[in-house]
Structures are given as C-alpha cells and as structure tokens.
Amino acid sequence: MLCKDTQCTKDVTHMATLLPSSMPSDRHAAYYGKAFLYVHLDNQHMGGYNTVGVWQHGGDAQAFVMAEMTRRASPLVINQSIWKLIRGVSFPLATTMHATVEFPTIRTPLLTYRLTLQSDKWRQDGFAPMVQQNIGGESKYHVGLNPLSPSVDINFYAVADHLQLQFWKPHDLQAHLKIDWYGSIGKCVLRYGPSILNYMFVMALVALVNGMPSVPLLFFYGSR
C-alpha cells in the first residue's frame, strides 16, 4: 500500500513479482504455499505518497520485509567469447538487492555452465541468494544458495539471442561463470547419442556391403 502520512489508499500488490521462497533451507524452486513478493517502485509511482505500508496476513513467524532506496541499475553485459568462458569469467554484482547480467555470446544449448557465487559476508538472517535464468522464453529459478552450496548448473534447451541471469540477494556478491565440461559431454551424449548409433550402424552396413562384392546389393533391399 502507498500511504501519505497515516492514510494508505493505493494498493500496489498487482505490481509485485511472485518469486519462489529462497531461505537457506530451500533446495527446490517450488512454491509449496510459500513465496516472495518483489516490488520495485519508481519516483513516478510515489507521486503524492511518502510511505510504503506492508500488511501481514496471519501470524507467520518467518515473515520479513527488506527494502532499499536506490536508482534502477542497467543490466551488466558480459560480452566474452566462448573461449574465454572455458577458463571462466568473474564479475561483481550490483550492490543493489536485485541485479541483472546478460551474456550475448551464450545462445545455443549445446553447452552447460557452472555458476558460483562468492562472498566474504554470507548472512544467515533474511533470505538466501536466488538466481533466475532466462533465455528464449525458458525460465528457471535456483534458490537457497549458501556457503555450503554456492554453485548451480546453468542448463537450458532454448535457442535465443542471449542468456540473462537475474539475482536477488541480501548482500554483496561476486559471481564466476564457466563451461561445465562434464555436464556438456553428458548433455551431448543424451541429445545426440541415438544419432551417433544410427550413423555407426549405417557405416558398418556400408563397410559390410563393400566387403562382399559377390553378393548383389539388391539382396539387402529385397527382391522384386
């Protein structure tokens, strides 16, 4: 609710983004009845109002509110080649609660990546850092990141212009992204394994036919 002095008259719940719960104990990005609401209000939304009010329904002891006043930050663009991502690239995240990072060179789903968050001051209160990956209309959340589990696999199947990562975090973080070779090899085997087997079968059949010149090729296709 937006308020002026003691009068709260404008409901802005419809402007909130629904996010999965990301507490230190959460491991799956499913809502299970618990969720976060994230609201970004610009100056134009606050015209005539000077206070934001939050109403709590029920008596949930784990409910909390975090707020900050800051300018909307532009997305950080990491325009590094795939060859640079072999060794990995490190980048700082904006000091704001929400940050967006884009990778124009990551477009195809042939490779998987490993994202690791680093911080000197992991906080145990409030919520745990959360990452949302977006590419070509495909979206996935990674929740509950903590010092014991600071890494996630960035794996997708869509093809688009770029990969976008959004971060929600209670404190400053550094991030490191690199190609996950074991995951990439496993993905290629699962994706193209049947095609490879068919190719090997065809090549073996061709070698067999070439090694038996006395047998008419028509024999392998049936007689008329």
Per residue in 25-70, pLDDT tens? 777 766 565 778 888 877 777 777 777 877 776 666 666 677 666 7
C-alpha to C-alpha distance for 196 and 44, rounded to whole angstroms? 58
Task: Please determine, for residue 201, whether its predicted confidence score (pLDDT) is greater than 70.
Answer: no
3-state SS class at 35 = strand
- Please say if the pLDDT value at position 165 is more than 90: yes
Residue 133: how many CB atoms within 10 A of its CB? 20
> What is the sign, positive or negative, of the torsion defined by CA atoms of 70, 99, 25, 31?
positive
Please report, rounded to a whole number, the percentage of residues in the chain having pLDDT higher than 70. Answer: 73
Pairing verdict, β 113-118 and 151-154: antiparallel
Q: Is residue 105's pLDDT more than 50? A: yes
pTM: predicted TM-score of the whole model, two decimal places: 0.75
Beta bridge partners of 28: none
Q: Reading across the β-sheet that carries 7-10, which strands appear in turn?
A: 7-10, 2-4, 51-52
